[in-house]
Structure 1
Amino acid sequence: MSATVLLQSGGGGGGGNDPVLLPETIANLLGLSGIVGDIVGGLLGAFLIANIMLAMTAVAGPWAKRKITAAFTDRIAVNRIGPFGLLIIVADAVRLLSKELIVPEGVDRPAWDLGPIIVPFSALLGFAVIPMGSGIQLADPETGVVFAFAASSIASLGLVMCGYASNNKYSLLGGLRAVAQNIAYEIPLIVTAASVIIFTGTLRPSEVVAVQAEPLLTVAGVTIPQWFAFVNPFAFALFMLANLAEIGRNPFDIPEAPTEIVAGYQTEYSSVYFVLIYLGEFIHIFLGGALVALLFLGGPAGPVLPGIVWFIIKIWAFFLFTQWARSAIPRLRIDQLIEVGWKGMLVLSFANLVLTAIIVGVIA
């Protein structure tokens, strides 16, 4: 029954009710039109979204990560600098950015310089097509879901550049591990996302969200939306697991395993370059949460509160899940990680895709 509703509501493709995008709203508010309005609206919209993500990352990295990990492991986290230890954000920023940027001998520049820039840039680029609710979306292309995955995968290039250009065997091993891990788990990640696209019949982010706004069933007067986490919980579990590998959280933090390869691809980086890599790591976690929300949790949909509030709640819930995994699940060995990816996740993701296609084909 639910798949029939999904096909009826989501198979249309283009649709006639295109959402009003953020650049257009900004251009109208400023009284601009034409190419000038598009450029100014796009730049200001990108600046706004980037700053929302950077502000959340600033809270997540220096403060929330420590507080959550301490709660899981029964320890005391930062609590001395400012109320609840919040000023550790400022202290860490000053401490890290004021350190000397040490460039080791023999590094391959400019690759060594470009690597830390590519990592956060790729994650921010992915947010260009994510509908955040309340009219906050930069672009809504027909292939927006593919664009988000493609932008996220650019980070692999940055990690390889960091590892190779550092002239350090531990960094090189970290870069090679990152590539092996991303290839092994990006395929199951994308194949699992494809099973959602089979239901929706579109790659356009706003339409993927619109399909999930339809009712799935009503129980005791409460209407449950057809979020794909409810429609296909197996695909949701697969996507969450592959996402942990994509963002490098336990048990998949192999590329920077400190007990084996110092800090992997980021071993030779300090000061602002270390901050950029660290920043990219947490922005990628939020992008992973945004993709989970988009494909399985109805995007920014939710009762009472504005869409942007629900969107932020969902990606922070995903962040909490990653920190739980970091504290509770032991790290795999690199051979175990590759075996789980190629022999387990890949097979299960294709099985889910084929089963989904059969179900949709029978109902259609």
Structure 2
Amino acid sequence: MTAPLQSDTVLLPERIANLLGLSGVLGDVVGGLLGAFLIANLLLVQTAVAGPWAKRKITAAFTDRIAVNRIGPFGLLIIVADAVRLLSKELVVPEHVDRPAWDLGPIVIPFSALLGFAVIPMGSGIHLADPETGLAFAFAAASIASLGLVMMGYASNNKYSLLGGLRAIAANLAYEIPLIITAASVVIFTGSLQMSEIVAAQTEPLLTVAGVTIPQWFAFVNPFAFVLFVVANLAEVGRNPFDIPEAPTEIVAGYQTEYSSVLFVLIYLGEFIHIFLGGAIAATLFLGGPAGPGPESLGFIWFVAKIWAFYFFTQWMRSAIPRLRVDQFLDVGWKGMLVLSFANLVLTAIIVGVIA
């Protein structure tokens, strides 16, 4: 297993500042900006692969079809082609939109997801910040996207967009609470909201079976909480059976109906960065973060593999499971997930209290 990530590990901005020979406030500012730029670009490259190319390839594999395969090797240059095609389209602005809110909505969504990655430990010193309330910060940053959905739905001056925005907020309310409550059960185990402490708590061995050591990942310690978190996460990122916020067969394209060109690209980009953020939080809370076999230098590779595994799972669900009706969707959230998440929290508190 990779070495434990301790709370006193040198963070990426500090590493960059030391490399450049800077110190003090100047070192903090330059290191922070360059570190944020590096991580943002790593995520944007992965999102560029996930959206135009991997999504099509995975869906085609599940539905027995042929995906993009003619533009470049394995169809990879479809990424460039789609970028040029979308960005070169005319930006059509409908009449009577609330222009400031209409413009800002698509910017808020990818920004909130990128902001959440600021506290995610990715291994090998790739960690921007490690505040004591890191987990709360990640959820708070991700929830900013709800503001963008409301802005887009309201400002578009379109009843379908408004319905899509309202459905998106209903989804977030119904499933964000169970998501956070389930994450709180991990906090009970670790006694900390600090991301590095949560990862470090999962580095101890849980048990050894036939010479194979199983790590103390919380997915093994509390698999029920892990399943709850993954299901709630599917709803948060809008994947089947919980993709009712868009529901193109019912409300055209939901909150993004009136968007084109670069603003549509930002919405599309934000959607996939949020999927990766959901996978990153799940990996940090339940799968040991960057931990995995081999030396510590492989931590980032293991982390990327875990978030891509979550991405693959969301696309699998998108191809395999039909969409719920909006009433079923809300019933599952409020009457099912919420009750189960509270039951898991209480049971975890009792078990930890007895063991302690």
Q: Does 1:358 align with 2:313?
A: no
Structure 1 regions of 5+ residues with no counterpart? 1-9
Q: Does 1:275 align with 2:265?
A: yes
How much has 1:19 moved relative to structure 2? 1.2
Q: How does 1:222-237 map to 2 (within 5 A)?
A: 222-237=212-227
Q: In structure 1, which of residues 307, 310, 313 is the aligned counterpart of residue 305 of structure 2?
A: 313
Q: C-alpha distance in 2, partners of 1:156/1:105?
A: 24
Q: Secondary structure at the match of 1:107?
A: coil
Q: In structure 2, which of residues 305, 309, 333 is the aligned counterpart of residue 341 of structure 1?
A: 333
Q: How does 1:278-293 map to 2 (within 5 A)?
A: 278-293=268-283
User: Please, what is the CA RMSD of the aligned residues?
Assistant: 1.2
How much has 1:270 moved relative to structure 2? 0.1
Aligned equivalent of 1:4: none
How much has 1:17 moved relative to structure 2? 5.2
Q: C-alpha distance in 1, partners of 2:156/2:16?
A: 43
Q: In structure 1, which of residues 155, 159, 169 is the aligned counterpart of residue 159 of structure 2?
A: 169
Aligned equivalent of 2:38: 48
Q: In structure 2, which of residues 100, 113, 122 is the aligned counterpart of residue 110 of structure 1?
A: 100
Structure 1 length as normaliser, TM-score?
0.95
Q: C-alpha distance in 2, partners of 1:16/1:329?
A: 40
User: Match for 2:110: what amino acid?
Assistant: P
User: Match for 2:326: what amino acid?
Assistant: I
Q: In structure 2, which of residues 49, 53, 61 is the aligned counterpart of residue 63 of structure 1?
A: 53
User: Match for 1:138: what amino acid?
Assistant: L
Q: C-alpha distance in 2, partners of 1:50/1:296?
A: 24
How much has 1:109 moved relative to structure 2? 1.4
User: Match for 2:288: what amino acid?
Assistant: G
Aligned equivalent of 1:248: 238
Q: 1:236 to 1:266 in 2, by over 3 A?
A: same
Q: How does 1:1-364 map to 2 (within 5 A)?
A: 18-304=8-294, 306-364=298-356
How much has 1:218 moved relative to structure 2? 1.2
Deviations 1:288-346 (A, max 9, x none): 00001000000000012610000000000000000000000000111110000000000
Q: C-alpha distance in 1, partners of 2:128/2:170?
A: 32
Structure 2 length as normaliser, TM-score?
0.97
Q: C-alpha distance in 2, partners of 1:16/1:161?
A: 40
CA contact (8 A) 2:52 2:78 kept: yes
User: Match for 1:252: what amino acid?
Assistant: F
Q: C-alpha distance in 2, partners of 1:334/1:108?
A: 28
Q: Secondary structure at the match of 1:37?
A: helix
How much has 1:16 moved relative to structure 2? 8.2
User: Match for 1:271: what amino acid?
Assistant: S
Q: C-alpha distance in 1, partners of 2:225/2:130?
A: 24
The ranges of structure 1 where at least 4 consecutive aligned residues each deviate by more than 2 angstroms after the TM superposition are: none
Q: 1:183 to 1:28 in 2, by over 3 A?
A: same
User: Match for 1:340: what amino acid?
Assistant: V
Deviations 1:197-235 (A, max 9, x none): 000000000010000001111112221110000000000
Deviations 1:21-43 (A, max 9, x none): 00000000000000000000000
Q: C-alpha distance in 2, partners of 1:151/1:17?
A: 21
Q: C-alpha distance in 1, partners of 2:138/2:244?
A: 24
Q: C-alpha distance in 1, partners of 2:173/2:8?
A: 35
Q: C-alpha distance in 2, partners of 1:202/1:80?
A: 50
CA contact (8 A) 2:6 2:196 kept: no
Q: Secondary structure at the match of 2:201?
A: helix
Q: Secondary structure at the match of 2:208?
A: strand
User: Match for 1:116: what amino acid?
Assistant: P
Q: C-alpha distance in 2, partners of 1:144/1:239?
A: 18
Q: Secondary structure at the match of 1:316?
A: helix
User: Match for 2:219: what amino acid?
Assistant: A
Q: C-alpha distance in 1, partners of 2:7/2:200?
A: 11
User: Match for 2:258: what amino acid?
Assistant: E
Q: Secondary structure at the match of 2:128?
A: coil
Q: Secondary structure at the match of 1:218?
A: strand
Q: Secondary structure at the match of 1:254?
A: coil
Q: C-alpha distance in 1, partners of 2:184/2:294?
A: 31
Q: 1:17 to 1:340 in 2, by over 3 A?
A: closer
Q: C-alpha distance in 2, partners of 1:95/1:208?
A: 43
Q: C-alpha distance in 2, partners of 1:358/1:144?
A: 25
CA contact (8 A) 2:7 2:130 kept: no
How much has 1:255 moved relative to structure 2? 0.9
